[in-house]
Amino acid sequence: MCLIVGLGNPGKKYERTRHNVGFLVLDEIAALTNSKFRNKNEVKGQMAETKINNRATELLKPETFMNLSGEAVVAAIKKWRVTKNKITIILDDVNLPLGTFRVRADGSAGGHNGLKSIIEKTGTDEIRRIRLGIGRPTHPEQPLDKWVLEKLNKEDWKTVVEAARLIAKKIVNGEIFIG
């Protein structure tokens, strides 16, 4: 069993924001694999069951809000007895240019509160992650917390959707290893 977690914040208010690109990638994976998300209270999120490269895979969109993402991940680990080497986290990254992405097997939270919560709750930073670039604020005075929660303009949204589709295709086609 593999677990892919897309980070974001629940609710209409946060749709199409920079912080929700993890949810967007999972939506693209679900579309490619004909999977549907359902609310699962026991894992504090929305789940979709699928198969990727002949492996049973659960897709998780935590409903705990970004800073408490670790709660949903730990609940999913317990429910499906997923080992940490079978977990992939998809998240936004302000340090990467818009629409670029990076895959790493482990590392620090890099200032990302959702990933920080997961590392704290699981007790390890050895969790695979895919970081999707959202860029930095264009105005130096703009606080990062406001930037990540801002809705993307039409052009930036198109760039992020294209990147999310590419990541999803690479995962489904086995070009990005998920566990």
Q: What is the CATH architecture assignment of 2-172?
A: 3-Layer(aba) Sandwich (3.40)
Provide the residue ranges of all domains of the chain, joining segments of one domain with +.
2-172
112 is an active site residue: no
Distance in angstroms (rounded) separating the CA atoms of residues 118 and 140: 29
| pLDDT tens per residue, range 74-93 | 999 999 999 999 999 999 99
Q: Which one is catalytic: 19, 40, 44, 112?
A: 19
Does residue 156 have a pLDDT over 90?
Answer: yes
pLDDT at 139: 86
Please list, in sequence order, all residues whose beta carbon lies within 8 angstroms of the beta carbon of residue 4, skipping any fewer than 6 positions away: 26, 29, 57, 58, 59, 60, 87, 88, 90, 171, 178
- Reported pTM: 0.96
